[in-house]
Amino acid sequence: MLAILLIQSLAQAEEDWLARSQTILERLEGQPRPAWLNSNPHQAEANRQALELVNASQSKALAAMPDGLAIHPKGKPIRVMFVSFSLGKPVLKGIFQEASDQEDVLLVFRGPKPGQKLPEFFADLKALLKDIDPVPNIVIDPTRFQKWKVTTVPEIVVEAQGRALVRVKGVTSLDWVKARQKDGRQGDLGRFGEVYAIAEIDLLEAIKSRLATLDGPRLKQQAIARFWQKRQFEVLPASREDRDRTIDLTVTAPRDLIAPNGNLIVRAGHTVNPLDQMAFGLCLIVFDATQPAQIDTVRQLSCRDKNARVLYLATQLSREDGWEGLKNLETTLDAPVYLLTPDVRQRFQLQQVPAVVEQAGKRIVVRERKVLKPAVGERS
């Protein structure tokens, strides 16, 4: 959704807390759920078999994208219900039961209750989810509360490509909203029932507040500096010329791939291209954020699929500028920036940057682009 992961001395303790907090900030959107929230106990085995299938090929582009890049089916609206323990456990359990086995439904909490630790929050959730199978999609995502300015619950927002198609307050029935959609209702439908204050804290604001109360500016800066000095980057050389490379995802199954319910997905020896079943849906723009010329270059790059979700991946960031540098970079690009990870680098066989990775027909194409020279008088 985003993963929820200072003390020999006070400084070290603050540093550890900062690292954990920043992990939450980095992973809030699309954070993975705890293992016990997985709806199918056999899913891990199915995932393992699928990885073996894809890894049998030299082209490993689509194998297990990082959780932080998980997306919903391209263009498919999702019903997002904003919930809180203030609704009461019976009402929450009823919502969980209705949302069970509905892939286009996302139940969103803002954070834990005041004074509550995250493990305690998840324990409360687990108790309510007892006997509900499959478990519904549940995340902690304060960014969504902020985006849609949700201040009371329940509220449902039907999201599609960053827009709200329908929203309504005071309704706990997902089917009620679906029926109104079928009737052609759109926009803000207003309030149709009782609404309640949100019992949980805003996790994002709590982290920001905690960062602001670190014991002195010097300690804070030391902790931030140590955090960045320890980061490992996936550094790649700069492209010296334009070059396009294609990645064929076609693989041959080494053995039968069986779904958890026993159904045969792929027979041993069968050749399959994952893009035949599911579009990639992403456009990755990979670049070195320590090089101003590369930043200028990626601002000129565009994706050929205008419907693809654009993700900026930095091979490295300025250790000296730290979080302030990252914030300025995201302001410049008007988009979030993520760090390139080793598995993404390997799966897309990335060699030089800047590069654009996207789908072209039944292949993945990696377009490496020569760095633009700065104009006279501009920074280099």
What is the average per-residue pLDDT within 64-79? 50
Distances (CA, A) of 78 to 28, 101, 174, 198: 18, 13, 11, 22
Q: What percent of the chain has pLDDT over 90?
A: 39
Say how far residue 252 (Cα) sits from the centre of its chain. Answer: 30
Return the structure tokens found at 167.
């929203």
Q: Where is average pLDDT lowest: 114-123, 155-164, 203-212?
A: 203-212
Which of 265, 263, 246 is closest to 255 using CA atoms? 265
* Mean pLDDT computed over every residue of the chain: 77
User: Which ranges constitute the DSSP H helices of the chain?
Assistant: 10-27, 43-55, 89-99, 118-128, 142-147, 174-182, 203-212, 217-230, 292-298, 322-333, 342-347
Q: Bigger pLDDT: 15 or 355?
A: 355
For residue range 353-375, what is the model confidence (pLDDT) as tens digits? 999 999 888 888 999 999 877 64
What is the average per-residue pLDDT within 321-344? 86
Which of 156, 100, 92 is closest to 125 using CA atoms? 92
What is the average per-residue pLDDT within 94-111? 93
Q: Bigger pLDDT: 308 or 74?
A: 308
Distances (CA, A) of 299 to 13, 273, 295, 361: 39, 32, 6, 25
- Residue identified by tokens 């409360």 is 124
- For residues 147-167, one letter each, b for 16 or more C-beta atoms within 10 angstroms of the residue's C-beta and e for the rest, the string is ebebebbbbbbbbeeeebebb
- Asked whether the predicted pLDDT for residue 94 surpasses 90, the reply is yes
What is the average per-residue pLDDT within 139-165? 93
- Report the 10 Å Cβ neighbour count for 249: 21
Q: Would the pTM count as exceeding 0.75?
A: no
Return the structure tokens found at 102.
């509905």
Per-residue pLDDT at 165: 93
Which of 319, 343, 340 is closest to 234 using CA atoms? 340
Residue 187 Rama label (left phi>0; alpha psi -120 to 50; beta): left
Return the structure tokens found at 273.
């291209």
- Asked whether the predicted pLDDT for residue 105 surpasses 90, the reply is yes
What is the average per-residue pLDDT within 46-67? 35
For residue range 198-232, what is the model confidence (pLDDT) as tens digits? 999 998 888 877 766 665 666 666 666 677 777 78
What is the average per-residue pLDDT within 229-258? 84
Per-residue pLDDT at 83: 97
Q: Bigger pLDDT: 83 or 72?
A: 83
